[in-house]
Amino acid sequence: MIVVTGGAGFIGSNLALGLNTRGHRDILIVDNLENGIKFRNLRDCQIADYLDKRTFLDRLQAGRFDNAAIDAVFHQGACSTTTEWNGRYMMENNYEYSKIILDFCARKQIPLIYASSAAVYGCGSVFREDPAHEAPLNIYGYSKHRFDQYIRERIRKIDSQVVGLRYFNVYGPREAHKGGMASVAFHLNQQLLETGKIALFEGCDGYANGEQRRDFIYVEDVVDVNLWFYEHRELSGLFNVGTGRSQPFNDVARAVIEFHGRGELEYIPFPDRLKGAYQSFTEANLSALRTAGYEHSFKSVEEGVRLYMQWLNP
């Protein structure tokens, strides 16, 4: 059995489908379906069972899974709302939850591949897996950073695989339930369909209008990295998962407009609430990932957005 936490979410459900394409059906999905719309992400996934997150944790801590034949755990479950400032809630969901899963996997020697985030880097200019370059801007980033640090402190004492994947700006199918936290590609598509226009932020932090740059990575590429580590169990550590190439938001907007063959691009004032808490530039350093042996190429914004628009606008 393979466990996927957050399996009804964006990356988790894509990961379940990726496992299906490789012949895996004995999948336990763990999630919180208080937001019931997420069930749509599971409709075409072939799985063995579903458990609510609270039930899963209760059973895990009660020893109910001690004799289960678990092949691996993909821990994708977390609160990913970067504007959430309830620190107790965030740390319970992202830190304490992750520690419980790690302790179980380490004790049972089960491979653990978990979702970290580029949010750990904050507004720095170097995005390399090194504590010297890590300074999160919000409690979400801190919750991910704290667990990464927890891993660093223990990884040499753990005999089984532990891999933390620091996702950069992921976009693609099955993210509609995320609302305001969905990708810029999703929102720009919605804007164009509803108004015929696309709005980006005016310049900030020394960048011109719409020229703030992010490392945008298509979700299928993220899934491929996860499954590659699953197939290389001798590898452990923290790894960036981005394309290694930053592109401006304007590139995303142009790709959406090009797909539809229409639309106007305009710029709106940069929100005061985001000043000082916004990453105007991200670009994954892929040295660790490439050194580990991962050689696959990643889709550009132009390639990935085109595929995504085809999925969103059948």
Q: What is the pLDDT of residue 95?
A: 97
Nearest to 261 by CA among 209, 311, 194, 196: 196
Q: d(Cα 179, Cα 82) in Å, to the nearest integer?
A: 12
SS3 for 166?
strand
Model confidence pLDDT, tens digit, residues 52-88? 999 999 999 999 999 999 999 999 999 888 878 899 9
Of the residues 99, 108, 178, 278, only one is catalytic, namely: 178
Instruction: Give the domain ranges of the chain.
Output: 2-168+219-242+287-292, 171-213+246-282+301-312
Widest distance between CA atoms in the chain: 58
Annotated active-site residue in 121, 140, 167, 171: 140
Which whole number is the average pLDDT over 160-177? Answer: 97
Task: List, as own/partner pairs, every contact residues 308-313 make where C-beta atoms lie below 8 angstroms and the sequence separation is at least 24, other chains included.
Answer: 308/171, 308/172, 308/173, 308/185, 308/186, 308/218, 309/185, 309/189, 309/255, 309/256, 309/259, 309/260, 310/259, 311/172, 311/173, 312/173, 312/186, 312/189, 313/189, 313/193, 313/259, 313/260
Tell me the pLDDT band of 274, cut-offs 50, 70 and 90.
Answer: confident
Distance CA(147)–CA(120), nearest Å, equals 10
Told to judge if 178 belongs to the known catalytic residues of this protein, a careful annotator would answer: yes
Query: Which has the closest alpha carbon to 17: 162, 299, 247, 220?
Result: 220
Task: Name the nearest CA neighbour of 147 among 109, 96, 105.
Answer: 96
Mean pLDDT value of segment 107-125: 95
User: Is 50 among the catalytic positions?
Assistant: no
For the domain spanning 2-168+219-242+287-292, the CATH number is 3.40.50.720
In this prediction, residue 262 carries a pLDDT of 97
104-108, 179-183, 185-189: lowest mean pLDDT where? 179-183
Q: Is 210 exposed, middle or buried (0-12, 13-18, 19+ CB in 10 A)?
A: buried
> What's the confidence (pLDDT) of residue 143?
97
**What's the pTM value of the predicted model, to 2 decimals?**
0.95
How far apart CA 51 and CA 55 sit, in angstroms, is 6
pLDDT bucket at 23, cuts 50 / 70 / 90: very high
What superfamily does domain 171-213+246-282+301-312 belong to in CATH?
Answer: UDP-galactose 4-epimerase, domain 1 (3.90.25.10)
Report pLDDT for 254. Answer: 98
3-state secondary structure of 83: coil
